[in-house]
Amino acid sequence: MATTPPRIFDPVRRAAIRRRMAALQARTDAPRYLIGEMVEDVLERLAFLRIEPGRALVVGDWTGDLGRALAGQGFAVTATDPVLAEVPLQEEQPYPEGGFDLAVSLCTLDTVNDLPGALVHLRATLAPGGLMIACFPAAGSLAKLRRIMLAAEPERPAARMHPMVDTRAGAELLQRAGFADPVVDSHALDVRFSTLLGLVADLRAQGLSAALADRAPMLGRPALARAQAEFVALADPDGKLAERFEILTLSGWRKS
């Protein structure tokens, strides 16, 4: 009997966050370090595996860098996005195309309600022998920001941060979705921030704002003051806060 996945994320809010990200990315100084790290990781993996060029599906790379790099290697690239594409992609529903030799998803699967279903549909896009790679922020990311939010609301903290997948859960998801030879690993990207508002601005510009279905109220002035005080307390002697992003990479093959 099929079960309905819990509604953790709000698809409408998720789409609005991604559209705002696109607008903020029009600025020349917009931060792109997270997706840039993912693109580099994917290209290094493909170079190691020596994948023969074929048809490639790229989901969520709003920079276009991965698609251009793959095209330069001889891949025929189809690029799409949950919101920004001319025909938006429904990640939790069957894809309109199949037969891809490579399918890559960047920084979108962490905010779908039916992650197992999304992986099943991603596998269905592959031709036999095709490879899937998915990268997104994982458990362990933004640990200091979580502490800051708890300090801001010490008595009744609202849910403001996403639940995140760890490596163990990632392995179970790949097996559940039917991928062969699954590989799951993560690596850290450390970034330093001068202010709390600068950290929040970077998250917004990269589409990482909270898309939770139960929207938390805005922080009042006393709570914001406590948050800023905690930022200062956690900062290094030079006044900058070192925050960590854990990037989870899932990969697997379609054997049949």
Measured CA to CA in angstroms, residue 231 lies from 144, 150, 152, 227, 254 at distances of 8, 12, 10, 6, 45
pLDDT interval class at 2 (50, 70, 90): low
pTM value is 0.94
Measured CA to CA in angstroms, residue 24 lies from 17, 32, 249 at distances of 10, 11, 26
- CA 110 to chain centroid, in Å, comes to 5
Q: Tokens 């490596």 map to which residue? A: 167
Edge to edge, what strands does the sheet with 126-137 contain?
76-80, 55-59, 100-106, 126-137, 241-254, 180-193
Domains within the chain, CATH numbers bracketed: 11-254 (3.40.50.150)
Longest Cα separation, the chain: 58
Q: Which amino acid is at 178?
A: G
pLDDT digits (tens, 9 = 90+) for 63-117: 999 999 999 999 999 999 999 988 788 899 999 889 999 999 999 999 999 999 9
Q: Tokens 């990479």 map to which residue? A: 249
- The vertex-175 CA angle with 173 and 179, nearest 5°, equals 110
Residues 6+ apart with CB under 8 A from 98: 124, 125, 126, 127
Interior/surface letters 104-140, b for 16+ CB within 10 angstroms, e for the rest: bbbbbbbbbbbbebbbbbbbebbeeebbbbbbbbbbb
Backbone angles phi, psi at 15, to 5 degrees: -65, -40
pLDDT digits (tens, 9 = 90+) for 140-183: 999 999 999 999 998 888 888 999 999 999 999 999 999 999 99
pLDDT digits (tens, 9 = 90+) for 191-244: 999 999 999 999 999 999 999 999 888 899 999 999 999 999 999 999 999 999
